[in-house]
Amino acid sequence: MRLLIQRVSEASVTINNRKKSSIKKGLLLLVGIEESDTKEDIDFMCKKTIYLRIFDDENGVMNKSILETDGEILVVSQFTLLASTKKGNRPSYIRAAKPDVSIPLYRQFCITLSEMLGKPVQTGEFGADMQVQLINDGPVTIWIDSKMRE
């Protein structure tokens, strides 16, 4: 599982010219799911996200988590995070899980994240053509791969 985490002052998802979800201060998560992902990957990624200290404290130092700032989370599925550009110029998405695997894992990721956050997370729509808008705060952008735990 891959996450691209962006600290935002606001973010939204629009589908067919209709705003589906929006948040103010918090995190926009772009999520890519692989065939080999499991509940263990979900738990690891949710804990990392919830406890990641990337919000400023009273001294302007990134020392607070999303829990400590009462921020919001917007989760958007994005299979292109698993693109391989090793050969040629056209990305391969062979590592991305098929919908029968990725949809249940994506849903479980959102449920687990919401439970850990203590409030609902906003979402895009799996498989839809979405327009994602954001104002990256900082900018702060973090990439995490559950298969490359550092």
* Contacts of 119 by beta carbon, 8 Å cutoff, 6+ apart: 72
Go through 27-59 and write b for each residue having 16 or more CB atoms within 10 A of its CB, e for each that does not: bbbbbbbbeebeeebbeebbeebbebebbbeee
Helix (H, G, I), strand (E, B) or coil at 17: coil
> Is 38 known to be catalytic?
no
Based on the number of CB atoms within 10 Å of its own CB, is 76 exposed (0-12), middle (13-18) or buried (19 or more)?
buried
Which candidate in 14, 38, 49, 80 is catalytic? Answer: 80
d(CA 123, CA 97): 19
Cα separations (Å) of 136 from 46, 61, 64? 20, 17, 17
Enzyme catalytic residues: 80
